[in-house]
Structure 1
Amino acid sequence: MSPRAVVFDMDGVLTDTEIIWDEVRRGLAADEGIPWPPEATLAMMGMSTQEWSSYLVGTVGLSGTPEEAARRTIDALVARYAHDLPELAGAVDAVRRLAARWPLGLASSSPRRLIDVSLETLGISDAFTVTVSTEEVGRGKPSPDGYLRACELLGVDPATCVAIEDSSNGLRAAAAAGMAVIAVPRPDFPPAGDALALADAVVADLDSLTVDLVEGLR
């Protein structure tokens, strides 16, 4: 049976922004003279805004409230995206290619503000039937909430859908939702081996994300 829909992650799949997120958060810590915990970068990938802002205050040690940490981070990211939103090679073509065959969803850990800015900047807002931020669900990745909500809004069973992911927490979230998963690992932030093992297919780049590949997964 052919898949009924495809749901993309955004950061690290369509946009090369994981490094920007890391630079901004590290910069906030450095401004306060706080050393960056070695596990913090990977730990926060996939977390919702509420979760990573609480982590920045409670674990990293930033001053102020989680809400203030979130505002400072997002404001800095919006300013960076205005002049520096790097698209991953083949991202727009991959989205257009799959949108011509299936309805598309997006399940991102980014706040709504950054999702809308990113898709508009890339010129692909119209390609997505639904978009979901983990701000809008109970839990961030690796919990499946964002993917389940995207499938609900698309009106499809997650078991009939394919997710496109790059990170450990994202792969775990999509698999926990019961979706088939295509991994597009990033060499600078490689997923853990146990998470990558959850993928039904692994591709080196978005040019390899073809209709035939997706068709073969459900």
Structure 2
Amino acid sequence: MPEQKSSPVAGVVFDMDGVLTDTETIWDEVRRELAAADGVPWPGEATEAMMGMSTPEWSDYMAATVGVRGDAADVAERTIAAMVERYRVHLPALPGAVQTVERLAQRWPLGLASSSPRRLIDASLDALGIAQHFRVTVSTEEVAAGKPAPDGYARACELLGVEPGRTVAIEDSSNGLRSAAAAGMVVVAVPHEAFPPAPDALALADVSVGGLDEVTVDLLEGLVAAR
């Protein structure tokens, strides 16, 4: 059981894509492939714009802004089905992901707030063998608004029964950092090399680290104690 008595930290909530799983590139490739198959050009701002959006939000963006064939529901189904197939072939974990989850789970209750749909969250955590370490998982499909709105992180804190100001969020994307900060959490940025966050979003983080191996118990306790 996690031990919290002597710690200023109440809990830790992870993002998934780009933090635990190296799937941001896969999402981008799948979406671009759908657009190419439908003969529509890929807008330069589309990749960044959709990071953190909920399934209804990004599928509507794909249909209305990018111009992919079908309505939002059609686009979501085609995209998620393609993602499931890619995951079956290979689900890449980021360096230190499993070890960091296992390490922090020995100390505090863990949650997850992801923009992925529920079936991809469950499949991913099962594939990595870490599902049992998370007390709660929240998909932005299950809240009113996706990142950068605070809804997903706020809901994860609510379900964990922890105060956001004593809870650490671990994020990589611009919209994810904005979401966690808006929820009032202590924010650790783990920027993804291929999709670095915008400077203004990165500035919202309490600290930026070079990888998950740097996310230690001592680091998190120091950050929360300094609040």
User: Where do residues 163-202 of structure 1 align in structure 2 (5 Å cutoff)?
Assistant: 163-202=169-208
1:119 counterpart letter in structure 2: L
TM-score, with length taken from structure 2: 0.95
Q: Tell me the SS of whatever aligns to 1:118.
A: helix
Q: What is the aligned counterpart of 1:146 among 140, 145, 152?
A: 152
One-letter code of the match for 2:148?
P
2:54 to 34, 48, 52: 48
Q: For residue 164 of structure 1, report the CA deviation from its aligned partner.
A: 0.1
1:213 matched to 2:216: no
Tell me the residue number matched to 2:4.
none
Task: Identify the residue that residue 107 of structure 2 maps to in structure 1.
Answer: 101
Q: Deviations over 1:118-146 (max 9, x none)?
A: 00000000000000000000000000000
1:18 maps to 24
Whole-angstrom CA distance in 1 between matches of 2:21 and 2:119: 15
Counterpart residue type for residue 201 of structure 1: V
| CA deviation after TM superposition for structure 1 residue 156, in Å | 1.1
Deviations 1:33-89 (A, max 9, x none): 111000000000000000000000000001111000000000000010011100000
| In 2: Cα distance, 1:78 partner to 1:158 partner | 32
Equivalent-residue separation in structure 2 for 1:48 and 1:143 (angstroms): 10
Structure 1 runs, 4 residues or longer, greater than 2 Å off: none
Aligned to 2:127: 121
SS in 2 for 1:78: helix
Gaps in structure 1 of 5+ consecutive residues: none
Q: Paired residues, what number?
A: 218
Partner letter of residue 186 of structure 2? A
2:211 is aligned with what amino acid? D
Name the CA distance, whole Å, in 2 between partners of 1:99 and 1:214: 13
Q: Take 1:162 and 1:32, find their aligned partners in 2: how far apart are those partners?
A: 41
Q: Offset at 1:23?
A: 0.4
SS in 1 for 2:8: coil
Per the alignment, in what secondary structure is the counterpart of residue 111 of structure 2? Answer: strand
The aligned runs of 1:149-160 (5 Å cut-off) are 149-160=155-166
- The 2-side partners of 1:210 and 1:3 are apart by 12
Amino acid at match of 2:208: V
Alignment partners' CA distance in 1, 2:135 and 2:222: 22
Q: C-alpha separation between the residues in 1 aligned to 2:210 and 2:166?
A: 24
Q: Normalising by structure 1, what TM-score?
A: 0.99
Aligned-pair CA distance for 1:159: 1.2
What residue identity is the alignment partner of 2:9?
P
Question: Structure 1: how far apart are the matches of 2:89 and 2:96?
Answer: 20
Rounded to whole Å, the distance in 1 between the matches of 2:70 and 2:192 is 33
Cα distance in 2 for partners of 1:63, 1:196 equals 35
Give the distance between the partners of 2:112 and 2:157, measured in 1 at CA: 10
Equivalent residue, structure 1, for 2:140: 134
